[in-house]
Structure 1
Amino acid sequence: MGTPLRSSYSATKWGLIGLTKNIWAMEYGEDNIRINTICPSSVNGERIEQVIKREAKYRNTTPEKIKAVYLSQTSLKSFIDAEEIVGMIVYLLSPLAKRITGQMLVIDGHTENLSMIEIEEE
């Protein structure tokens, strides 16, 4: 998903998705190699905190307000924990996922479009 101030980041992610779906999975499938892309939303930690601070500065508001808006855009009202991504990787490496390839697997707590963030004025 695209967000303001992050066009190069978004472009690289779409590139990986394209390579996964249209090239790698088809090229390596004959060798029984499965290729998938895991697409997590905001992951708890320093990186998302820096993103929030940068957006708060850009929008002339507080990081707390930006974080509250980000969280309000997800059905589960929380960021992703790194352990959840590890869990997806473990599953994909297991025999249970032997027919999953060429997929974009989203772990996002049902995140809506963050590019439409509206900050309420006080």
Structure 2
Amino acid sequence: MDLELAGKSALVMAASSGLGRATATQLAAEGAEVAISSRSQENLEEAKNHIVEETNANESAIHPIVCDLSDSESIRPAVERSIDELDGLDVLVTNHGGTTPKYFADATVEEFDDHYNSILKSTIIVVKAALPALKESGGSMTHLVAATAREPPTGLIFTSTIRSGLFGLSKSLATEYAADNIRSNCVCPRSIMTDRIESKTEQVAQRDDVPFESVLEDRKVELPIGRLGTPEEFARTVTYVASPAAGFLTGTVIPVDGGWSKSTQ
């Protein structure tokens, strides 16, 4: 299937590693020119090298842009610079770092503020900065939101409250900007084997004094598909959703979680 991404321009936030980098890699493999953002210039250069090696993309087609999503003042200039370097914008992929596991009783108001700033507020600023260019192109916005935000477990109060706000934001954007031919969707990962998941699994194994593979098996058991997903599988879904090939898809929340979600809507 031709996703019609050749020659298109894309910006992927928080893209120096994990699902962000995998998404940027897949977009580049489909022929898009891609700006990648992260707060570390060194990590961005490593990510650029990885993308070029994996896709044979021209080095000039991958644009590293330093942006700290926890620093509100740095976001708009970074997005505007990305759009300038790309000479426009067809695809926006918003992304952010993880949340701190906590119960409500242990969470402080200041911690809620920090998570709001780095997740929901940062996404709002990114979208506001990108909208003029997306209006010109009739482009797409795809928001990466952890699947646990749809079915909140205990002990993840910041995910349950802050990340879930991204669903409402995306749906509202889909409705408000449909007349501009802008689409907005959420794609929700769960149990995708990134370096972060591997690190969290190792921490649990050390804490409980059990083998790493045992903790990994526990993760697999909760998935009807019976295995963990790969970043590449997730990235292919995001790339399709963001592409012109999915032109009639907007306002949706799509889980990529091996069947973990139980919701019928």
Give unpaired runs (5+ residues) of structure 2: 1-147
The aligned residue for residue 170 of structure 2 is 20
Q: Residues of 2 paired with 1:55 and 1:108: CA distance? A: 20
Q: Which moved further from structure 2: 35-44 or 89-98? A: 89-98
Larger Rg: 2
Deviations 1:40-99 (A, max 9, x none): 1122122112222344456x3424332211101111222221111221122223343111
Percent of aligned positions with the same letter in both sequences?
29
TM-score normalized by the length of structure 2: 0.38
* In the alignment, structure 1 residue 79 sits paired with structure 2 residue 225: no
Runs of 4+ off more than 3 Å: 53-58, 93-96
The 3 A distance-change label for structure 1 pair 50 and 4 is farther
Backbone CA RMSD of aligned residues: 2.2
Q: Secondary structure at 1:77's aligned position in 2?
A: coil
2:221 and 2:253 map into 1 onto residues whose CA distance is 24
Q: Which residue is equivalent to 1:37?
A: 186
Structure with the bigger percentage of strand: 2
SS of corresponding position for 1:37:
strand
Where structure 1 has 5 or more consecutive residues not aligned to the other structure, the ranges are: 114-122
Which residue identity lines up with residue 182 of structure 2 in the other structure?
I
Q: In the superposition, relative to structure 1, how do residues 112 and 73 fare at CA in structure 2: closer, same or farther (>3 Å)?
A: farther
The one-letter code matched in structure 1 to 2:239 is V
Pairs aligned (count) = 111
2:114 corresponds to: none
* Counterpart position of 1:47: 196
| Structure-2 separation of matches of 1:55 and 1:11 | 24
